[in-house]
Amino acid sequence: MLILMEQTATLEQIQAVMAVLEGAGIRAYVQESPVSTSILAPHASQALKADRIEPMGGVARVVPITSPFKLASADGAPGRTVVEVRGVAVGGRELAVMAGPCGVESREQLFTVARYVAESGVKLLRAGAFKPRTSPYAFQGMGTEALSLLEAVRREFDLGIVTEATEVETFDEVERTADLIQLGARNMQNFALLKRAGRSEKPVLLKRGPAATLEEWLFAAEYVLSEGNRNVILCERGIRTWSQHARNTLDVSVIPAVRQLTHLPVIADPSHATGRRDLVIPCARAAVAAGADGLIVETHCSPDQALSDGPQALLPSDLVQMLDQVQKIREVLTQGGPVF
């Protein structure tokens, strides 16, 4: 249930409601917005009737949350969530862009890419230290050494670091370095990893599984949220279909669909969605036009030599062109205020 408090509700009245909920064994969260305070109590109606809470001092109304995604649902939220990643607002008016190589390959490669990423105005650098690969013989990432390089590159170029945690065993290490912890598509239903990310203080970028329905994706987000971490960004990165012209199929319509159901920010990854450099910019434009709050794209200084995902990596000049185009689209969409 969602308990809406009167605007004049005192701290004591809020605490009294919390005490009743806690007494009934219900985990509840106080949500403050500029205009009101509410208390979100997922599954409370199983243990408590609304008429136990409604007459209490300071309570305006008790609203049942019918959505199965109690914490991810737009129903119980005071507004859209903005996730802050090292000073970058994801889910606000401005488009949030993350760009960088698929993986950290060497100091020289990382610093070369980071330099032009920073010069292009992008504030968040993506690069995997631990890489989940389809083949066990493919490049698996430089691991711990890559994390040190990512820390060095953050100091040098003042960039926030987006990097993937692939398993619970190495989560702590990744968590120390990352400003935004990516959970990859293949791990969307790795429940142990989701729960560990839910206990992190760092924001989480949750990619949609290649065959996941919208509901499964939101339940995965719910795993993270229900452990206490409320800073979750969703990422559509293409799903498996029968199309053979591209690596995956960018599910453009899921962007507005998921934004209707959840208050969480949603970004798109046109690089993994297409696997083809020539399709990345058109699909980036489509995702932004559909209401994505941001983009994550791969770029490389010499894609022909890339150890992973070279064919989909944007060249430095492509990155500049893409940013110009998507920012213009975003401006058109936000002229009349926030995107629906």
Q: Does 132 bind ligand PEP (CB under 6 A)?
A: yes
Q: Does 105 bind Mn ion (CB under 5 A)?
A: no
User: Which of the stretches 81-89, 107-115, 184-192, 211-219 binds ligand PEP when contact is defined by CB under 6 A?
Assistant: 184-192
Between CA 235 and CA 254, with CA 312 as vertex, the angle to 5 degrees is 25
Q: In the bound complex, what is the minimum distance in angstroms from residue 133's beta carbon to ligand PEP?
A: 8
Residue whose Cβ sits closest to ligand PEP: 184
* Torsion angle (degrees, nearest 10) of CA 224, 226, 232, 238: 50
Q: Does 207 bind ligand PEP (CB under 6 A)?
A: yes
Contact 91, 233 (CB under 8 A): yes
Contact 17, 56 (CB under 8 A): yes
Q: In the bound complex, what is the minimum distance in angstroms from residue 213's beta carbon to ligand PEP?
A: 17
DSSP one-letter string for 39-102: EE-TTGGGTS-HHHHTTSTTEEEEE---SS-TTTBSTT-SS---EEETTEEESSSSPEEEEE-S
> CA 105 to CA 318: how far, in whole Å?
21
Give me 120's structure tokens: 């292009």
Q: Does 125 bind ligand PEP (CB under 6 A)?
A: no
Specify the residue, 293 or 309, whose C-beta has the smaller distance to Mn ion: 309
Near Mn ion by CB under 5 A: residue from 102, 114, 159, 178? 102
Specify the residue, 126 or 259, whose C-beta has the smaller distance to ligand PEP: 126
DSSP one-letter string for 19-37: HHHHHTT---EEEE-SS-E
184 binds, among ligand PEP, Mn ion, none (CB under 5 to 8 A by kind): ligand PEP
Q: In the bound complex, what is the minimum distance in angstroms from residue 18's beta carbon to ligand PEP?
A: 38
The residues pairing with 204 across neighbouring beta strands, listed in sequence order, are 181, 232
Q: In the bound complex, what is the minimum distance in angstroms from residue 72's beta carbon to Mn ion?
A: 26
Near ligand PEP by CB under 6 A: residue from 100, 141, 184, 198? 184
User: Which of the stretches 60-68, 90-98, 179-187, 259-267 binds ligand PEP when contact is defined by CB under 6 A?
Assistant: 179-187
CB atoms within 10 A of CB 48: 19
Specify the residue, 184 or 303, whose C-beta has the smaller distance to ligand PEP: 184
In degrees and rounded to multiples of 5, residue 84 shows phi and psi of -95, 125
Specify the residue, 185 or 329, whose C-beta has the smaller distance to Mn ion: 185
- Which residues have CB under 8 Å from 94's CB, separation 6+? 330
Specify the residue, 88 or 280, whose C-beta has the smaller distance to Mn ion: 280
Q: Does 185 bind ligand PEP (CB under 6 A)?
A: yes
Question: Which residues ranging from 204 to 243 are in contact with Mn ion (CB under 5 A)?
Answer: none
Sign of CA dihedral 295, 300, 304, 309: negative
Across 102-222, the runs of DSSP E, i.e. the strands, are 124-126, 160-164, 180-183, 204-207
Q: Does 309 bind Mn ion (CB under 5 A)?
A: yes
Q: Does 100 bind ligand PEP (CB under 6 A)?
A: no
Question: Which residues ranging from 209 to 268 are in contact with ligand PEP (CB under 6 A)?
Answer: 237
Q: In the bound complex, what is the minimum distance in angstroms from residue 272's beta carbon to Mn ion?
A: 6
Binding site for ligand PEP (CB under 6 A): 102, 128, 132, 184-186, 207, 237, 269, 272
Binding site for Mn ion (CB under 5 A): 102, 309
